[in-house]
Amino acid sequence: MTSPNIVWTRIDERLLHGQIRITWGKHTEANLILVANDDAAEGPNAAFMQAGMKASAGGEYAVRFFSIQKTIDVIHKASPKQRIFVLCNTPEDVARLVEGGVPITHCNVGNMHFHEGKKQIAKTVSVNSDDINAFERLVKCGVTCTVQNTPDQNPEDVLELAVSA
């Protein structure tokens, strides 16, 4: 089993959109964006979601939509030529990937919008106790978790922000 060439992992509630293609895709030099999300892969609105996200990719990247479990099952079959950008919309999904054996070492947190029951820890990131628990599980697995909306910003530790918020 080979280790997949994962060049970036990001949490963004919006999943694949223009900012991912324009800033993060170019910054990471990815050639494949893997949207690891159960709803986008096989939910009732999957076809609609995928169409919008494929349009956002602008044809510059190969795009795949896998459930969390399928990602765990097939990621190690990736070609070494694939420079994979893993995109999830929750820290729980990233934690499930890591606990399932996906070799993620860093998780970039971009957009987790404020909802009832969440507290804002950065301009674009709000968390609840379940999110914090998932980040703690990731850190225990050796994954660095940082908030950084765009590449020109300085990364900040998610858990440190959560404690100080």
- Given 17, 27, 76, 106, which residue is catalytic? 17
Q: Is 78:4 a contact under the CB 8 Å cutoff?
A: yes
Supply angle C-alpha 42, 68, 134, rounded to 5: 130
Q: Determine the Cα–Cα distance for residues 111 and 63; give it in Å rounded to an integer.
A: 20
Residue 27 appears among annotated catalytic residues: no
Which among 94, 87, 74 has a CA at the least distance from the CA of 135? 94
Report the distance separating Cα 22 and Cα 92, nearest Å: 26
Catalytic residues: 17
